[in-house]
Amino acid sequence: MDLLALVADQRCVACAAPGRLVCAACRRALPWLGPPGCLRCGAAAAVSPCPTCAGLDPALAWVRTAVALHGPARDAVRAWKDQARTPVGRLAARCVVAAVPPPAPGSVLVPVPAAPERAAWRGVDGPADLARRLGRRWGLAVRGDILVRRDERPQRGRGAAARRRLAGAAYAACGTAPRRCVLVDDVMTTGATLAACAARLAGAGAAEVGAVAFARVVTESQWTGLPLGGSEEYCGPKESTTRRSPR
Ligand SMILES: [Zn+2]
Ligand SMILES: [Zn+2]
């Protein structure tokens, strides 16, 4: 891709203002997630484990996500996934590093495998892109060869139970997994994919499996009760992190 043309052509993925991938105003409006209530899945819940994650495979020890999939974050993910806008991976990595404490030293990052023909159609493999960038920033190894996708049925538009069923059969582990693995995904929806991948890694020898994702799907009721956090590095002043109603 011609990088100069890309820069000259750059528009904000959220509001189309010229100049940057995400303009300053939309950056300030990123819906950062506050400290998690549920220490396992990272949800803003009163109990831990919360009802959402209690049904997931026990192999998934913890999940942390940077932003809610709303507003500019949703626009950024759409551009990342559907328009092959690879620079979004850089933004996603910076957000994760700003919001999520680094995993324990020696952890190995394992991207959630995308269905091959979908990754080719989009022109970018979001989780692999994010894992590479996080590996550089956190100084952790990345292993993209441990998990493979063996079921191409998309999960989009399916409920939690159907996602769990599909995800359980969709992934396989190759060889021996590192002792401490951290799954990397672009978006966490119900957690079913992460839990299924964690189960495969545990079956292949991992002693602990956590997960990080850039964005997290939150329901409208979760959204209105969400304690939004902030990040000095990326979010600007606290008052800029006001909640906006979902579109
Ligand atoms: Zn903007
Ligand atoms: Zn939870």
Domain range list for the chain: 31-230
Evaluate whether 168 touches 198 at the Cβ level (below 8 Å): no
Cα gap 162→41, rounded to integer Å = 19
Distance 91 CA to ligand 1 centre (A): 13
Q: What is the pTM of this model?
A: 0.83
Distance 212 CA to ligand 2 centre (A): 14
Cα gap 224→245, rounded to integer Å = 8
Q: Answer yes or no: is pLDDT of 113 > 70.
A: yes
Q: Is the peptide bond before 49 cis (omega within 30 degrees of 0)?
A: yes
Distance 17 CA to ligand 2 centre (A): 37
Distance 65 CA to ligand 2 centre (A): 12
Pick the closest to residue 61 from 210, 183, 212 (CA basis). Answer: 210
184 class by beta-carbon count within 10 Å (0-12 exposed, 13-18 middle, 19+ buried) = buried
Which of the two residues, 23 and 219, has the higher pLDDT score?
23
Return the pLDDT at 245. 36
Q: Averaging pLDDT over each range in 52-56, 199-203, 223-227, which range is the top one?
A: 199-203
Return the pLDDT at 82. 74
CATH no. for 31-230:
3.40.50
Cα gap 86→124, rounded to integer Å = 7
Helical segments of the chain, H only: 3-8, 24-28, 51-54, 71-82, 87-99, 116-122, 126-138, 160-170, 192-203, 220-224, 232-235
Token pair in block for residue 7: 């820069």
Token pair in block for residue 69: 């999939």
Neighbours of ion ligand 2 (CB under 5 A): 38, 40-41, 43, 49-50, 53
Helix (H, G, I), strand (E, B) or coil at 34: coil
